[in-house]
């Protein structure tokens, strides 16, 4: 299964879990299991995109799209964290779950319309297959734990598009654990990058204003 096929399979599984939760069937334990599965899958999905897919495809003129995608990931993680902090049978949880679903569906729609077509057209099929294997290996390792509980640590700033070492048999087991340890430092990098962009925009605005005043004078 190549990288895009894997991500699309996860998209479909996520949709199915949202539908189960919204239909309202099942007992309390079953609904809790569905939500735990959904939260874990969203956490894994974001991780393999940020660790492998986004850094690999950013070289094909998708930088702007990917920066927007990581911003959307941040919003999804924050909404998921709010759901994790809510009781499943509360009205607050239902509202937060709906908000989470809407943000996830918006994000998936943009990937399908703006990112995936470009990647399919410009990225070699063999590379997508190899990338899919790396992502599958990381996914299997993350599934051994409870990745949903890592999400609140990832709600400070967007994760930067950092290149990670190619995986071998050992690194495929180590990288997911390292990524948890690096979650806060990486987000600190993301926060600094975001702050620099804001400051740069402010300085540029001031400069343009001064030039305009000079011309008017």
Residue labelled with tokens 């057209």:
121
Domains in the chain (CATH in brackets) are 3-216 (1.20.120)
CB 39 within 8 A of CB 151: yes
Beta carbons within 8 Å of 5's beta carbon, 6+ residues apart = 132
Burial 125-148 (b: 16+ CB within 10 A, else e): eeebebbbebbbbbbebbeeeebb
Provide the angle, in degrees to the nearest 10, between the axes of the packed helices 63-84 and 91-110.
170
Q: Is the per-residue pLDDT at 198 higher than 50? A: no
pTM of the shown model: 0.77
Closest CA to 134 of 168, 183, 182, 181: 168
| Residue 64's pLDDT band (cuts 50, 70, 90) | confident
Distance CA 163, CA 125 (A): 20
Per residue in 102-159, pLDDT (tens digit) is: 999 999 999 999 999 999 999 999 999 999 999 999 999 899 889 999 898 888 888 8
Distance CA 151, CA 80 (A): 8
Identify the three-state secondary structure at position 158: coil
């Amino acid at each position: 299964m190549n990288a895009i096929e894997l991500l699309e399979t996860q998209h479909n599984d996520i949709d199915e879990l949202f539908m189960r939760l919204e239909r309202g069937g099942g007992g309390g334990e079953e609904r809790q299991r569905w939500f735990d599965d959904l939260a874990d899958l969203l956490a894994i999905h974001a991780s393999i995109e940020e660790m492998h897919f986004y850094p690999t495809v950013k070289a094909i003129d998708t930088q702007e799209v990917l920066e927007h995608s990581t911003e959307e990931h941040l919003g999804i993680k924050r909404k998921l964290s709010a759901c994790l902090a809510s009781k499943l049978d509360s009205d607050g949880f239902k509202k937060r779950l709906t908000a989470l679903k809407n943000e996830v569906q918006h994000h998936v729609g943009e990937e399908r319309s703006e990112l995936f077509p470009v990647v399919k057209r410009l990225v070699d099929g063999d590379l997508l297959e190899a990338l899919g294997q790396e992502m599958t290996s990381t996914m299997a390792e993350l599934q051994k734990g409870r990745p949903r509980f890592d999400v609140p640590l990832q709600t400070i700033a967007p994760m930067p598009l950092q290149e990670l070492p190619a995986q071998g048999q050992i690194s495929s087991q180590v990288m997911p654990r390292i990524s948890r340890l690096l979650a806060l430092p990486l987000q600190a990098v993301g926060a600094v990058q975001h702050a620099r962009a804001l400051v740069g925009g402010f300085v540029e605005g001031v400069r343009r204003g001064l030039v305009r005043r000079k011309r008017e004078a």
